[in-house]
Structure 1
């Protein structure tokens, strides 16, 4: 499925990740993020004595589907669920693991067996105690194919049904299919569907919104918005500082932006860089920024002409003006990418692979070597990818490559049989947005390993497969970097997917509150937000 459902169309986070997915205990962390606050001082700072009370008003578009933690994949639904329910582990803005419902975890058998110790005294908002049986039920639910959960992609080849057991009331044990040193990320917020729900959860979350999170959902209208009150049973005593949160739904991004400018809301759940960056320095609006690992993939079918020749795929990659893509699509917030799946934020990312840049002469040479006199192909995408598609079409036209645009509705693009005919996985060339993940394996396993559930390129390379498995099982930085080098260079050479820019993330808000931050996966955590 998409968006892990993997995609990060502004509303659709991909994650298993969000995607959106996932430290040997606290040691295996993601990369460092950066923050830029405009006006009102550092956006992440809190007063020395946080002020209690107040209701934070946040704007967003309405969720396109039901708010169900098991199956949700859009940004608004994820934000609503994250205010109410909690994870074993949270991901901070640097993609570091932060204990939540689990206070400790450890591995044995080379990283194949993982034990998680639950925090003592946690109860759901209805007073039901949290124990290991509840946690087991939550993951059994996600691992059941009948649930149709986006989380399944994160667990693919790593954790199967029957792999979760209860050791004692406070200890849950996961037995994996193979060693996986980053497994804590797969049960963290990095796998955004991995929220812990009551044992008897059966759907209809907005009608029975019971969780262990900082707020309680008091009302929900799919057309107007949602209201939340402080959870008096929240396990982190003294928090949240706010009395509540009000989320207002707006029909489109411009209406959401006008509400922020006019003071009808205090913050946005999901901000678009190109829209909010011009507001820097205007009034008391702050735009917080953080680096990210999300991207839009130009996926090319390697099993059929014209992309069965790697020279053709390389030619397309050398036709792109990546700084231009960043400036036009991400308003300069992103970082240049290099057609492999290791963002600079990932500690193991190779630093010595030459940055691919626009080279018309090389494009011509590669196409000639492939025996292609004139290259043309259709590019399939859904509405959120239209601007990016137009950029690709224009840039390739400049080097003589003709691209015809094949826009589908989102329902059509991601619809059909996911194993044989869905357009996003079976078209010659597609644009798919992937939300940021905390570890590269969350991209590598579903996207480019042989038989990956979201392998739209139909790419298969035993060298990459072996290196990816070795990377997952590596327990030292040296071993991990060695395998990362193999994976990155293989993808750079074979180009089954073209990744031109790693997108950053922003969040805009007005003065009056402190502690509001951007998150690389656009997640929302208002637990520590305080009035100024």
Structure 2
């Protein structure tokens, strides 16, 4: 989420910094031998709400993208928003993270999740008139699976889908053959893996110069310092949509300037709203706030292979030093949910319910440090600017129990730069804060983050029992089996504490409620303006 090219990892983590993708209770995943999704779930009429009207331009404020707006390599929330207005996915993730058919009408697995077949929507054309077909979809995924293209989508497919695993059955059917059974695979080819947009077969970069897609809008102009102008796509596949004539995105250098533009009427909504800034404005004047839970979080990552965090007791002591409700109040204006130092948010259906919630316990902190033979704990905490508020909160709270934290703020370029295999700060410093965008399924955290020798295992944690449970979780086809493996994983992480997850984030989106309706927050700060209309 909250959000986020410097490197493949940051592309994967960000969205709003951000902003999280979550599997909420209504999420569908397409079980073995079943079909998930149907075209009937999509509106074909485009009928307007009674209080709305067709036309108008929605003005949205957002920070400028730090790098090129490219569907393959983008990582920040602004670039993602622009591309999502122009291009489309096989599957969208609704704000409750139901899987919603887009370019794919339905999908099924005949063999327990090892092979997946996707039937494409008929009659879809790109904005230049080129028809959508299975060869085009295959080319899009072949491009993402090629390591030379450095797409963050590749990391999400690690150990699941390899180059060469996509085939064309017929012009309207694409088949994915996986490396192993993965029952949540539809999420990996959905907006939950935000680089998986379907592009033309001959796409070669320069998206802002040749912005061809199947989405609801056309990119009319783009200025990296000022913003973007988009107009309705007359060839959009969903009849009657979008309702708007266009979208104008204006870039602002910082959150305060963006907020002032909203309050002053220069923009009608924000792409990336910060809860702590906009929540107090709810109901004030024309400003309305939409709010959702998320599975994004800021991870306090501890190097388990270096002193002092090579002792489990020390890691546990830091975890027991945190006042989690206080973190929630300071960082998310109280709209987040308490974390318990494992990767299963309560919003994930398989989340364990019998693990006691970890809470601040100064006596426990002292006892754990004594058991580890540590009389005085101090350590540097490395982070980049989006995590500054969280860093200050951690520093203050740990000081209350006698733990000294020295803040080591880097630029984002420095924090995520360097050699990703040996010295990049976000993976190799002793303790750091990493803002992970939420994901639709927990495996999208577990696979790259905590499995032994995982690509983004900044804690250098290794646990064969967790590795086995994670593989079994991915292959599970029943809720009972999944919950059993989730409990093993969660208990291991909660006890070993390679990462401290104190709070799961919440997301908001502020907008002018007197002028527009249909503007919604999204767990990943994504934008879907197809149903937005003027009042």
Give the structure-2-normalised TM-score: 0.93
CA deviation after TM superposition for structure 1 residue 506, in Å: 0.0
Alpha-carbon deviations, 1:92-132, whole Å to 9, x = none? 01111000000010012221000000000100000001000
Quote the residue 1:529 is aligned against: 532
Of 505, 519, 527, the match for 1:516:
519
Number of the residue aligned with 2:87: 85
Q: How many pairs does the alignment contain?
A: 514
Counterpart secondary structure, 1:323: helix
Q: What displacement does 1:51 show?
A: 1.6
CA deviation after TM superposition for structure 1 residue 177, in Å: 0.5
The one of 312, 315, 322 equivalent to 2:314 is: 312
Partner of 1:361: 363
Q: Tell whether the 8 Å contact from 1:4 to 1:153 is kept in structure 2 after alignment.
A: no
> What SS does structure 2 have at the residue aligned with 1:5?
helix
Structure 1 residue 50: Cα displacement: 4.4
Are the counterparts in 2 of residues 16 and 191 from structure 1 also a CA contact under 8 Å? no
Q: Could you report, residue by residue, the CA deviation over 1:36-89 in whole angstroms, capped at 9, with x for unpaired residues? A: xxxxxxxxx972374211111111111111100000000000000000000000
Once residues 36 and 446 of structure 2 are traced to their aligned partners in structure 1, the CA distance between those partners, rounded to angstroms, is 18
Alpha-carbon distance in 2 for matches of 1:179, 1:398: 47
Q: Partner residue of 1:38?
A: none
- 1:482 corresponding residue in structure 2: 484
Find 2:261's aligned residue among 243, 246, 259: 259
**C-alpha distance in structure 1 between counterparts of 2:191 and 2:304, whole Å:** 33
Residue equivalent to 2:432: 430
Residue aligned with 2:325, SS: helix
CA distance 1:23–1:69, shift in 2 (3 Å): same
Query: What's the secondary structure of 2:277's corresponding residue?
Result: helix
- Paired residue secondary structure (1:485): helix
Contact (CA 8 Å) 1:22, 1:188: kept in 2 or not? no
> In structure 2, do the counterparts of structure 1 residues 136 and 2 end up closer, same or farther at CA, with 3 Å as the change threshold?
closer
Match of 1:36 in 2: none
CA–CA distance in structure 1, aligned partners of residues 423 and 408 of structure 2? 16
1:33-72 to 2 correspondences below 5 Å: 47-48=49-50, 50-72=52-74
**Other structure's SS at 1:384 match:** helix
The one of 5, 12, 16 aligned to 2:11: 5
- State whether structure 2 residue 479 is matched by structure 1 residue 458: no
Matched, 1:123 2:125: yes
Residues 211-232 of structure 1, C-alpha deviations (whole Å, 9 max, x = no match): 0000000000111111111000
Secondary structure of the residue aligned to 2:13 is coil
Counterpart CA distance in 2 for 1:516 and 1:14 is 17
Q: Residues 477 and 115 of structure 1: is their aligned pair in 2 closer, same or farther, counting only changes over 3 Å?
A: same
Partners in 1 of 2:62 and 2:494 — Cα distance? Answer: 37
Alignment-derived partner of residue 105 in structure 1: 107
* 1:172-228 deviations in Å (ceiling 9; x for gaps): 000100000000000000000000000000000000000000000000011111111
- Distance of 1:2 and 1:258 partners within structure 2: 33
Q: Which residue in 2 is equivalent to 1:491?
A: 493
1:39 is aligned to: none
Per-residue deviation at 1:2? Answer: 5.4
TM-score by length of 1: 0.94
Aligned to 1:37: none
Q: Is the 8 A contact 2:144 2:196 kept in 1?
A: yes
CA RMSD of superposed structures (Å): 1.9
CA contact (8 A) 1:219 1:227 kept: yes
Mapped contact 1:4–1:15 kept (Cα < 8 A): no
Q: Map of 1:332-351 to 2, 5 A cutoff?
A: 332-351=334-353
Task: Please name the residue that 1:468 is paired with.
Answer: 470
Change (3 A) 1:525 1:3: farther
Matches within 5 A, 1:495-510: 495-510=497-512
Q: What secondary structure does 1:390 align onto?
A: helix
| Distance in 2 of aligned mates of 1:478 and 1:209 | 45
Tell me how far 1:383 sits from its aligned partner.
1.4
Does structure 1 residue 219 correspond to structure 2 residue 221? yes
Deviation at 1:6, TM superposition (A): 3.5
CA deviation string 1:426-447 (max 9, x = no partner): 1111100001101000000000
Change (3 A) 1:512 1:264: same
Runs of 5+ unmatched residues, structure 2:
1-6, 38-46
Within a 5 Å distance, the mapping from 1:406-417 to structure 2 comes to 406-417=408-419
Deviations 1:240-279 (A, max 9, x none): 1111111111111111111111111111111001110111
Q: Which residue is equivalent to 1:419? A: 421
For the residue of structure 2 that corresponds to 1:332, the secondary structure is coil
Q: Name the CA distance, whole Å, in 2 between partners of 1:458 and 1:50.
A: 53
